[in-house]
């Protein structure tokens, strides 16, 4: 624990009171990301081995953490933009954009974008971790294989058949109750992540308006372009067919 507490080293000269707040909040996020990845990785294994109730149990823990992550934005938002400016320049090129664990969560959840590997400054270890997540199974893959095992085919190349299978899960919830409640848990994970994105962009606009980001993007404009990202678009679309 002593070692952990040596890792918060403000960089700005002259020193800025709120830099410690900024560092602690970011590090707390990374610790929670670590636990989320632990749970999601186990969730993938549980779905692949055909254990939907256990996968749902793990996802419910992820939901609880995600609610903390959304609430935690308020701690950083207690900073005034003028106070942020006292140390903002010493941050570049660091940015949440460079968070490898954040991309790992996106990838393992089902949203894989190889393009980020080129856009991030990665050492060989981080690159290997992201490559592994890109090629490895996602929660959605696990869910689909679970449905296949229950006689509900989810072929990659046949959207209509997939929708029929998903509709059966939703309409025959007594028969497929574990699968149905797991699909709802996946949707909650997706929804909470989307809420975090919205909460984050509002905080960013409050802190830096339309300035570009320290990670090299257009800032809030880039972040707004990510708000419609979804891990499980087919579970959202399904609502229109019920
Ligand atoms: C004063 C507070 C913050 C500001 C002004 C801010 C600003 C930004 C900006 C402008 C971006 C776009 C990328 C770039 O830098 O060019 C970004 C991305 C990001 N930030 Fe923050 N951020 C703040 C706090 C946080 C915190 C506490 C986290 C927690 C981990 C975080 C996580 C992220 C992530 C994961 C991205 C990438 C999002 C994506 O690409 O979809 N940020 N942030």
Contact 231, 185 (CB under 8 A): no
- Residue ranges and CATH numbers for the domains of the chain are 15-87+96-241 (1.20.58.480)
| pLDDT tens string 32-75 | 999 999 999 999 999 999 999 999 999 999 999 999 999 999 99
Segment 181-194 mean pLDDT = 98
Cα–Cα distances (Å) from 55 to 7, 111, 132, in that order, read: 34, 19, 21
Q: Which residues approach ligand 1 with their CB closer than 6 A?
A: 25-26, 29, 76, 84, 95-97, 99, 102, 200, 203-204, 207-208, 213-217, 219, 222-223, 226
| Index of the ligand 1 atom closest to the CA of residue 222 | 12
Counted residue by residue, the chain has a size of 242
CA of 205 to the centre of ligand 1 (A): 11
| pLDDT tens string 71-129 | 999 999 999 999 999 999 988 778 889 999 999 999 999 999 999 998 888 999 999 99
Cα–Cα distances (Å) from 138 to 23, 43, 48, 183, in that order, read: 31, 9, 10, 14
Residue indicated by tokens 């990301």:
33
| pLDDT tens string 190-211 | 999 999 999 999 999 999 999 9
Task: Count how many Cα atoms sit within 13 Å of the Cα of residue 145 in the half-sphere of its side chain.
Answer: 13
pTM: 0.97
């Amino acid at each position: 624990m002593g070692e952990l507490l040596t890792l918060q080293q403000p960089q700005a000269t002259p020193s800025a009171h709120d830099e410690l707040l900024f560092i602690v909040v970011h590090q707390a996020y990374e610790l929670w990301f670590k636990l989320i990845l632990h749970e999601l990785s186990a969730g993938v294994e549980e779905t692949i081995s055909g254990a939907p109730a256990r996968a749902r149990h793990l996802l419910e823990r992820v939901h609880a953490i995600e609610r903390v992550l959304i609430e935690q934005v308020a701690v950083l938002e207690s900073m005034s933009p003028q106070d942020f400016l006292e140390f903002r320049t010493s941050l570049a090129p660091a940015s949440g954009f460079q968070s490898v664990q954040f991309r790992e969560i996106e990838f393992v959840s089902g949203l894989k974008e190889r393009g980020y590997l080129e856009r991030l400054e990665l050492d060989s270890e981080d690159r290997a971790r992201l490559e592994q997540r890109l090629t490895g199974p996602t929660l959605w893959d696990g869910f689909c294989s679970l449905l296949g095992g229950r006689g509900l085919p989810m072929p990659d190349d046949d959207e209509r058949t997939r929708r029929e299978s998903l509709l059966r899960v939703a309409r025959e919830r007594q028969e497929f109750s574990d699968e149905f409640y797991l699909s709802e848990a996946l949707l909650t994970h997706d929804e909470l992540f989307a809420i975090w994105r919205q909460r984050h962009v509002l905080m960013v606009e409050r802190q830096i308006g339309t300035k570009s980001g320290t990670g090299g993007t257009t800032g809030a404009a880039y972040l707004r372009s990510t708000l419609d990202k979804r891990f499980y678009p087919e579970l959202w679309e399904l609502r229109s067919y019920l």
